[in-house]
Amino acid sequence: MYQRYGCTSATDVPALRMYRRYGCTGATDVPALRMYRRYGCTGATDVPALRMYRRYGCTGATDVPALQMYQRYGCTSATDVPALRMYQRCGCTSATDVPVLRMYQRYGCTSATDVPAPRMYQRYGFSGYVRVIQQ
């Protein structure tokens, strides 16, 4: 199997062992495993995270905290990924900010300067974006 999956040095052997342990089944999973090691995943529970990481096109180590936050706040589809990126950009720091972010998306805010507007929107109990503009 070592040869089949393109391992090229002894340093890949631990990777191959982990590869088998986490149920990878084809050569296409090898790049995932390399990324898995690169970003310091340490347990089987991280494997679904890594698969999601690849699925949503994360490309650097800086995206790993985003992915962990993505999991923590229960995002369930690709449409939530832009929300997560915006979540980071606008400096949300706790789960209580997630509903604000969802509202942020819903009302078409496009920059960090718009975040206070949805917060005020929530505070006064408006139910439509038009009412915010009117107020």
Residues 43-67: tens digit of each pLDDT: 444 555 555 555 555 544 445 555 5
**Do 99 and 130 belong to one domain?**
yes
- Token pair 């109990």 is at which residue? 125
Handedness of CA 47, 51, 54, 57 (dihedral sign): negative
Q: Is residue 87 part of a domain?
A: yes
Domain membership of residue 45 as a residue range: 1-57
Q: Is residue 100 part of a domain?
A: yes
Sequence-separated (6 or more) residues with CB below 8 Å from residue 46: 36
Domains in the chain, number:
2
What global pTM score does this model have? 0.22
Helix spans in 56-97 (H): 63-72, 80-89
Asked if residues 104 and 90 have their Cβ atoms less than 8 Å apart, the reply is yes
pLDDT digits (tens, 9 = 90+) for 91-107: 555 444 555 555 555 55
Q: Is residue 67 part of a domain?
A: no
